[in-house]
Amino acid sequence: MINNRGNNRGNNGERPKGFTLMELMLSISLFVILAGGVAVPITGSYLNNLETAKLTQASQIFSESWEAVRSIRNQNWANLANQTYGLRDANGYWEFFGITDEADGFTRTIQVRSVFRDGSGNIVTSGGTDDSDSKWVKIQLSWQPTPYTSRLIEEEGLLTNYDSPGVWPPA
């Protein structure tokens, strides 16, 4: 009688052929499953952190854009011509430049257009009289937080020429 307790040897004392290959395949399979189970949450967490960082940066650029447009308005109301612009810092002062601007993977577009009012001074979408002391400003900021996604923030607001003595409705 041959005692095979505790070993994987055949009758002649050698390991059965193919047994090491099976162990190796099982080990690799377990490693792939465990590594995948760890890699997916880590990768997801990394991408989430990357997107959060980009969203924070976008929020800062977006706020900066509104401040820049207000600064341009304060420099000279006539600089708010109806057009689509980008922004640039020119010797410490903001100015409109081109039709978009790009920095750090973000594309910014600023659209300025006229405001029209009815006889009572209410803003209307069609008809009415051009209010030369008000402008609609729409700011758009787009970026790609990851290679497979794109994001866009946009907001529209009313700017007025606070230095103008004009009052709506006109007398």
Give me the residue spans of the domains in the chain.
Answer: 19-160
pLDDT of residue 2: 52
Q: What is the pLDDT of residues 3-31, one digit of tens each?
A: 555 555 556 666 666 567 777 788 888 87
Secondary structure in 3-state letters for 72-96? HHHHCHHHCCCEEEEEEEECCEEEE
140 C-beta neighbours (distance < 10 Å), count: 18
The average confidence (pLDDT) of the chain is: 83
* Mean pLDDT of all residues in 62-67: 93
pLDDT of residue 32: 77
pLDDT of residue 42: 67
* Mean pLDDT of all residues in 141-152: 85
The least confident of 16-25, 94-103, 111-120, 136-145 is 16-25
